Amino acid sequence: MTLKLVYRGMLVHSTRDTPLEILKDYLLGVDSKGKIAFIEKGENVEGLSKEWGFHTSDVIQLEQHEFLMPGLVDTHIHASQYSYSGTALDLPLLDWLNTYTFPVESKYKDLDFAKDVYTKVVRRTLCNGTTTACYFATIHTDASLLLGQIADEFGQRALVGKVCMDCNSMVPYYKETPEESMDETVRFIHELLKKEYANVKPVVTPRFAVSCSSSLLYTLGEIAKNNNLHIQSHISENKEEVKLVQQLFRDCRSYTDVYLKHDLLTDKTVMAHGCYLTDEELEIFHEKGAAISHCPRSNISLASGMLNVRKVLNNNVKLGLGTDVAGGYSPSVLDALRRAMDTSKFLSMQDAQLQTLTFEEAFRLATLGGSEALSLDDQTGNFEVGKDFDALRVNMSVPGGPVDVFPGQGPKIILEKFLNLGDDRNIVEVFVAGRKVVPFTEL
C-alpha cells in the first residue's frame, strides 16, 4: 500500500475512554485510499520510512502552534435554511416554521435557486471544519439529489434527507400528499444510492411527528428497515410542540413512543433537540441505540428549551452536536460547542449539583460523539488506524488570526483557546477521507 501523506507534529483527538488525548510529536500516515495507515511516535521516523517506503523529506512538519484534530461533525443542519440564517429569530418554533421556514423551503422547486444555496452552505461548512454533515433538504427530490451531488463534488461526507411532511402545514403550497411523500422518498433513495458516491448517503427524514400522518410514519419506518438506512427527525424541542404531539397521537405514551411505535427509533436514528425528554424516554433511546443531536444555539435562538447533556450522557444515550441552521444562526460546529458549554452552565446555576460539561467533553461531542450519533464511528470521528483521515489542520498563529498565543501556553491551552476563540481563519486545511477539500481547488 502506497502512502499519500505523512504529517509530523501534535495530534489531538478523543477515544472511547478519554475525551481528550494529546499526542505530542507523532507521525500520522495516510494511505492511497485516504485511510489512516499508522500513528506512531515521531522518533520512529527512520524505521517507518523504510517500512512504508516514504522519504523523510516528504514528511510534512507541523509548526509550533499547529495541530491536527478530527473533523467536526454537524449532526443536524437544514441546508435549505442557510439562505436566511442570521435572520427571522423572533418567533417560537411552530410560528417560525409557518412564517419563515415553509415559504423559503418551497422555493427549492427551482433548481437554480437550490444550486446557489446548496453550493454556498457546503462551502461555508467545509471552511468551518465540518467534515461530516447530516442534512435536511426540502420536500423536493431533485433539489435534494442536487445537494448530494454538490456535497460529493466538494468532498464533504454527508447524509442527505429529502424532507417528508403530509400534515399540519399552514402553508398550502408547501406540503405533500401521503402518496407523493412515500413515492418521492423511494425515488430519492434509489437515485442517490445509484450514484454510488463514496461518502454521501440518503437518510430517511420525516420532518417531525406534527408534520406526518401515522401512515406516512409507518411507511418511512418500513423503508428505512428494508434498506438499512439512517433516520433523522426532530423530537421534544418546544413545549407547545410536545403538547400538540400528545393531542395528535393519543394512543402513544410519549413523543418517543410515537417514533418507537412507527419503527423509527433504531441504532441509525438521530433525533434533534430532545429538550423535554423524560428519563423513561431516554431509557428507550438507550435501549434502541438511537442518538440525540444537541442543538443549543437553536434552542436559545427560538427560545425552545435547554437540553441537560449530563442527563443524556448519564443515560448512555449517543450524543452529538448540531448547528440546526437556520433555527441556529451559526453554520459553525465550534459555535454549537460553545453554546453547549454555556447551556450546561446556565443549567448548573439552577442546580448546583449538576456537573458542567468540560471543554474536553464538548470537544468529544463535536467529533467522536457526533460520529457515534450518526453511526459513522467505524469510519470517522477520531484518529485510529483503518479509519478515514477526516481532519483539520489548525494553526493558532496564523497571520491575521483571531487568537493570540503566549509563551508557556501548552497543547491543552492551545486547543481550549481554539475551541473557544478560534474560527475558520485558524482552519488552514480540511481533509475528508484523505482528500484535501479546503483550501478549495476550483471545480
Q: Considering only the stretches 63-71, 245-253, 254-262, 265-273, report the one whose residues sit in contact with Zn ion under the rule CB under 5 A.
A: 265-273
- Residue 77 near residue 43, CB atoms below 8 Å: no
Say how many CA atoms lie within 13 Å of 197 toward its Cβ: 25
C-alpha span between 138 and 165 (Å, rounded): 10
C-alpha span between 40 and 29 (Å, rounded): 9
Q: Among ligand GUN, Zn ion, none, what binds residue 129 when CB lies within 5 to 8 Å by partner kind? A: none
- Residue 81: CB minimum distance to Zn ion, A: 8
User: Does residue 298 interact with ligand GUN by CB under 6 A?
Assistant: yes
C-alpha grid cell, residue 396: 493558532
User: Does residue 237 interact with ligand GUN by CB under 6 A?
Assistant: yes
Helix, strand or coil, per DSSP, at residue 232:
strand
Nearer to ligand GUN, 184 or 237 (CB): 237
Measured from each CB, the residue nearest to ligand GUN is 327
- Residue count, binding to Zn ion (CB under 5 A): 2
User: Does residue 97 interact with ligand GUN by CB under 6 A?
Assistant: yes
- Residue 143: CB minimum distance to ligand GUN, A: 16
- 231: part of which helix (H) or strand (E)? strand 230-235
C-alpha span between 219 and 429 (Å, rounded): 42
Q: How far apart are the first and last CA of the chain?
A: 28
**Residue of 74, 166, 281, 324 that binds Zn ion (CB under 5 A):** 324
The rounded Cα 331 to chain-centroid distance in angstroms is 11
Print the binding letters for residues 157-196 with ligand GUN: x by CB under 6 A, - otherwise. ----------------------------------------
Say how many CA atoms lie within 13 Å of 205 toward its Cβ: 27
Q: Strand 36-41 to strand 21-31: parallel, antiparallel, or no bridges (unpaired)? A: antiparallel
- Residue 158: CB minimum distance to Zn ion, A: 16
Q: Among Zn ion, ligand GUN, none, what binds residue 297 when CB lies within 5 to 8 Å by partner kind? A: none
The rounded Cα 242 to chain-centroid distance in angstroms is 24
Name the residue type at position 412.
K
- Residue 365: CB minimum distance to ligand GUN, A: 19
With vertex at residue 306, the alpha carbon angle to CA 91 and CA 287, rounded to the nearest 5 degrees, is 120
Nearer to ligand GUN, 151 or 209 (CB): 209
Q: Considering only the stretches 45-53, 93-101, 286-294, 431-439, report the one whose residues sit in contact with ligand GUN under the rule CB under 6 A.
A: 93-101
**Residue of 324, 335, 372, 390 that binds ligand GUN (CB under 6 A):** 324
Q: Which residues bind ligand GUN (CB under 6 A)?
A: 78, 93, 97, 101, 207-208, 234, 237, 298, 324, 327
Q: Which residues bind Zn ion (CB under 5 A)?
A: 272, 324
